[in-house]
């Protein structure tokens, strides 16, 4: 009888071992699935946090809403007792320099390379298309040079008159390195005059400057906005797309930027 029971006992032990093995395997797999699920959830949460930070729009000086001055300009267009800033003003990436938003006295970028290349293309096109021999007779001006120039005009014409056509030190577009006074060679007597705008060369510039990224900075009948009298010779580089939009809408840089 004992011999007959031995196979049964062995079979029972084997069956028990198999059941225990199956239980262990199932437990192990379930535990691994739970661990994997926890890890995946952690990764998902981390990704959500990273995405929220990444998707948050960056804010810098070029995108911040511009603060409008609280004071009212004086009779010459300047804010009373205004001090020069420590940083230049950029609005939507565009450098602005006018009677309300001046430049630091230390701002000295020299001629902007991109603007210089665009200027060369424009002058070459005028020569090739129409035979106009145009020249930029004034470009970048340092703070120190503008000081001397402005003081000379004040001594000659008085401050009120000078303020209509010459910027005070720190307020000049020429200090940005993006502005150029343009005239026609051989017609120097028309340089810095409204009459230049009536010449074929002056008219060509007004009609075509936007194709090279330039705008007529101080157009006619806009002195109450720009702060300066009509200057048929003063062109400012802003880039082709922006120049075309300003030309199409027949507006000033101040109006385009929403500061006037």
Q: Specify the pLDDT at position 249.
A: 98
**Predicted confidence band at 71 (pLDDT cuts at 50, 70, 90)?**
confident
Token pair, residue 164, equals 């209509």
Q: Specify the pLDDT at position 9.
A: 53
**Predicted confidence band at 6 (pLDDT cuts at 50, 70, 90)?**
low
What is the number of alpha carbons within 13 Å of residue 205 lying toward its C-beta? 31
* Catalytic (active-site) positions: 231
Supply the DSSP symbol for 199: S
For the purposes of burial, counting CB atoms within 10 Å of the CB of 41, is it exposed (0-12), middle (13-18) or buried (19 or more)? exposed
Element spanning 251, H or E: none
Asked if pLDDT for residue 33 goes beyond 70, the answer is no
What is the number of alpha carbons within 13 Å of residue 200 lying toward its C-beta? 7
Token pair, residue 134, equals 């145009």
Mean predicted confidence (pLDDT) in 48-65? 37
pTM of the full structure: 0.75
Asked if pLDDT for residue 122 goes beyond 80, the answer is yes
Q: What are phi and psi of 230, to 5 degrees?
A: -55, 125
Q: Specify the pLDDT at position 61.
A: 43
Token pair, residue 127, equals 């020569």
Asked if pLDDT for residue 130 goes beyond 90, the answer is yes
- For residue range 155-209, list pLDDT tens digits in order: 999 999 999 999 999 999 999 999 999 999 999 999 999 999 999 999 999 999 9
Asked whether the beta carbons of 88 and 107 are under 8 A apart, the reply is yes
List beta partners, residue 12: none
Token pair, residue 22, equals 């199956």
Cα 18 to Cα 20: distance, rounded to the nearest angstrom: 5
């Amino acid at each position: 009888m004992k011999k007959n029971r031995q196979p049964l006992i062995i079979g029972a032990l084997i069956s028990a071992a198999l059941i225990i093995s199956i239980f262990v395997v199932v437990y192990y797999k379930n535990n691994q699935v739970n661990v994997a699920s926890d890890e995946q959830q952690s990764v998902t949460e981390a990704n959500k946090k990273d995405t929220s930070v990444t998707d948050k729009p960056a804010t810098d000086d070029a995108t911040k809403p511009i603060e409008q001055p609280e004071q009212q300009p004086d009779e010459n267009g300047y804010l009373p007792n205004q001090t020069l800033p420590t940083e230049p003003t950029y609005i939507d990436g565009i450098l602005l320099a006018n009677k309300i938003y001046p430049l630091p006295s230390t701002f000295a970028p020299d001629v902007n390379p991109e603007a210089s290349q665009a200027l060369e293309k424009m002058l070459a096109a005028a020569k090739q298309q129409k035979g106009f021999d145009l020249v930029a007779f004034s470009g970048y001006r340092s703070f120190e040079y503008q000081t001397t120039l402005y003081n000379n005009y004040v001594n000659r014409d008085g401050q009120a008159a000078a303020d209509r056509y010459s910027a005070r030190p720190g307020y000049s577009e020429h200090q940005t390195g993006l502005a150029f006074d343009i005239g026609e060679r051989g017609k120097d007597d028309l340089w810095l005059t409204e009459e230049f705008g009536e010449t074929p060369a002056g008219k060509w510039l007004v009609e075509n400057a936007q194709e090279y990224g330039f705008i007529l900075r101080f157009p006619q009948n806009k002195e109450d906005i720009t702060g300066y009298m009509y200057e048929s010779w003063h062109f400012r580089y802003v880039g082709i797309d922006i120049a075309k939009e300003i030309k199409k809408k027949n507006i000033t840089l101040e109006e385009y930027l929403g500061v006037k």
